[in-house]
Structure 1
Amino acid sequence: MLSEHLLFFFSALGAFNGLALALYLWFAAKTSLAQRALAVLILMVSVRTGKSVAFYFLPDTPALVMQAGLTACLLIGPSLYFFIRTSLSNSTALGRFELWHGSALAIIAISLNLLWPYADHARIWHGPIVTTGNLLWLVYLIVSTAVLVQQRHRLPAGTARMLLLAVTTGLWLIWLAYYTSGFTSYIVGALSFSFVLYLCGAVAWAWRQGQAPVEPYQDRRIPAAEAATELQALADLMTRERLYLDPSLTLARLSRRLGLPQARLSQLLNDNNGTSFKQYIAQLRIGETQRLLLEQPGQTLEAIAEAAGFQSLSTFYAAFKKANGCTPALFRERHLSRE
């Protein structure tokens, strides 16, 4: 009995927190398109969670509640897709594809509610509509994940990146919980609550850190002259302070040291330098190991890798061979034999 009360409390609390968070994200100051897409997504998950709580614990759940929850289930996958699309774009308005896509989904959802109200067609809702909703959710999850993988170089940095990946992972877990509800029905509400609670925590943390909870990728190209100046400043900083030798160096720390926003530095490296942050740092560390291999022929490879900022010998070997086409030992042997 106590476990059921706790499950009801946490599941209902998750749904309520989600509704509150969705309203906050929608009406907050300086709201971006991606942030409103996230608000819609959280709203759909919260309504779906609320329906599950009511259906499980209340014998006579109103038909309107059931209908709203099952309709929300149809829109969770598309909401995730729109959130990811808008997060990877700096557009302040929906494009033609998104407008047609969203309009078609809205028409389908409204038509289902008007033509087959739950009160008179409960069997249809719990049959083909639920099956279609779960399948649609899965299809959009797969497509959204593929978009993230394909455009991983455009992912925002910092809190926004963590939020984007966590939302996608959380929805995968919730879908799996619903899909296997015959075996895991007790954890569905808890998973939904954990998902919403994480979002609450992430948004609160971002707010305390002075960051936007959703930071869309800055797709505007940096002018060539500005990019050249900033890349030269980055190169001068690295030459002067050799920050890449620190194994714990992060994009956030480097951006602060350079005096650029983290998203701007990420874009500068990806778009104008053709490398990710990790690739850029790895190149500098490889250059350092090449110098040490020749200047310190008696030094061990482990010591050289550590001195150059590599955290492990295996990472050093893989990066070095990829850059030079040979192992560090062979590189040293070839160059020293010429001398």
Structure 2
Amino acid sequence: MIHSYLLFFFAGLGAFNGLVLSLYLLWRQPVTPAHRWLAVLVLTLSLRTGKSVMFYFWPEISKLVLQVGLTACLLIGPCLIGFVRAWADPQRLHTRSDPVLGLGLLGLAVGFGLAWPYPDHPDLWGGPVWKLIQYAWLGCLLLAGGLFVRATRCEVAHVPADGLTSRHVAAVIVGVAAVWLAYYTAGLTSYIVGALSFSVVLYLSIIVMLARRRAGRAPTPYQDRKIAADEAAAALQSLHQLMAEEHLYRDTTLTLPKLARRLGMPAARLSQLLNDNHQIAFKPYLAQVRVEAAKRLLSAPGGGAMEQVAEAVGFVSMSTFYSSFRKVEGTTPAAWRQAAQQASQAGS
């Protein structure tokens, strides 16, 4: 009896905590697309887990509850893919339509449930539908893993505004895989293992998050040590030379860690060098370098269209190009080019 109570407590508490966590992710600020996808992913896992708990302890529960749980289970894989894609594309260059596709899949799932409800078609839901959901979930897991590997290899696994690092994303993928494996092997173990796996993964994630937060409060190795003036001058000269000779600013995926590796110094050291000794953060510095390169192209005869100039110096969009140029020069690229051409004609 006590054993059953413990199973119910931990499995049910995991589902409840998942619901609370999903609401927190939706209401915390700032709410980014990656956070929204993660919130929906946790919500679907919670619904699936809650369904497992109810069915395990109350086998005669309404089939509609089982239908809701299986519908949520169908959405776990697509939500995982949406989360990884949103994390890998913080500027939403290729993922703007992902929420629409997700809502479309939800509509199809709900429509199927209305046309063939579980109470009237138990064999359909308990057989082909359940198998389809299992293998679709597995396929989405593999696809999400592939997207994650490709993103990390392309050096987009920096720390964006949503604060999600590659380790966080990897933990989410591994956690979802653990829950899938638990349900897939339920015939060899027990049906409640899936619900317990979700609880364990959730609790471990919270523990790791708290541990990382404590670790993040510790001072960085270079926080209390200033860079000497001569050392900073040499490092800045190497940085400017590297940018000028190898045109690293053209890389649209250039990040602070990637640039630090090219310079042979820790990322924290490069950040300190730019902020303390160059009075500029990494992103404004990179934008400044790109604007200077754009000015050289704009002043050259036949410099090309604005879109070509922006792409040639590493800007991913025209809006970013124009806003960065205005911040640095106080005018638009077109106005600057016109003024440069007039000055050149007057000088000749």
Look up the match of 1:308.
none
Q: Is the 8 A contact 2:40 2:79 kept in 1?
A: yes
Residue 66 of structure 1 is matched in structure 2 by: 66
In structure 1, what is the Cα distance between the partners aligned to 2:195 and 2:213?
27
> How far did residue 145 of structure 1 move?
0.7
CA distance in 1, matches of 2:184, 2:195: 13
Q: 1:155 aligns to what SS in structure 2?
A: coil
CA displacement, residues 78-108 of structure 1 (integer Å, 9 cap, x when unaligned): 1100000000011359736525532441232
- Whether the 8 Å CA contact 1:17–1:197 is kept in 2: the answer is no
Matched pairs, number: 242
Check the 8 A contact 2:48/2:70 in 1, yes or no: yes
Structure 1 equivalent of residue 157 of structure 2: 155
Amino acid at match of 2:202: V
TM-score (norm 1): 0.61
Matched, 1:38 2:38: yes
Q: Pairwise mapping of residues 96-245 of structure 1 onto structure 2 (< 5 A)?
A: 97-99=97-99, 101-153=101-153, 154-157=156-159, 160-185=165-190, 186-202=192-208
Name the Cα RMSD after superposition. Answer: 3.7
Q: Per the alignment, do residues 19 and 208 of structure 1 end up closer, same or farther by CA in structure 2, a change over 3 Å counting?
A: farther
Tell whether the 8 Å contact from 2:271 to 2:282 is kept in structure 1 after alignment. Answer: no
Quote the residue 1:333 is aligned against.
Answer: none
Cα gap change, 1:210 to 1:112, in 2 (>3 Å): farther
Say if 2:274 and 2:282, in contact at 8 Å, map to a contact too.
no
Is this contact kept in 1: 2:86–2:95, CA < 8 A?
no
Aligned-partner Cα distance in 1 for 2:26–2:100: 22
1:283-313 Cα distance to aligned partner (Å, 9 max, x none): xxxxxxxxxxxxxxxxxxxxxxxxxxxxxxx
Q: 2:95 — aligned with what?
A: 95
Q: Which has the higher contact order (CA 8 A, sep 6+)?
A: 1
**Relative to 1, partners in 2 of residues 1:85 and 1:95: Cα closer, same or farther, differing over 3 Å?**
closer
Task: Answer whether contact 2:25 2:35 (CA < 8 A) is retained.
Answer: yes
Contact in 2 for aligned 1:21/1:200 (Cα 8 Å): no
**In the superposition, relative to structure 1, how do residues 117 and 255 fare at CA in structure 2: closer, same or farther (>3 Å)?**
farther
User: Please, which runs of 5 or more residues in structure 1 have no aligned partner?
Assistant: 212-221, 244-250, 273-339
Task: Tell me how far 1:255 sits from its aligned partner.
Answer: 5.9
Report the Cα distance in structure 2 between the residues aligned to 1:210 and 1:103, rounded to whole angstroms: 37
Identity %: 37
- Measured at CA, do residues 210 and 32 of structure 1 come closer, stay the same or move farther in structure 2, by a change above 3 Å? farther
Match of residue 84 from structure 1 = 84
**Alignment match, 1:313:** none
Relative to structure 1, the CA distance from residue 182 to residue 190 in structure 2 (aligned partners, 3 Å threshold; closer, same or farther) is same
- The one-character-per-residue Cα deviations of 1:21-58 (angstroms, maximum 9, x if unpaired) are 00010111210000000000000001000000000011
Tell me how far apart the structure 1 counterparts of residues 25 and 128 of structure 2 sit (CA, whole Å): 33
The corresponding residue for 2:9 is 9
| 8 A contact 1:11–1:189 mirrored in 2 | yes
Is this contact kept in 1: 2:89–2:95, CA < 8 A?
A: no
Task: Output the amino acid matched with 1:171.
Answer: V
Q: Is the 8 A contact 2:152 2:166 kept in 1?
A: no
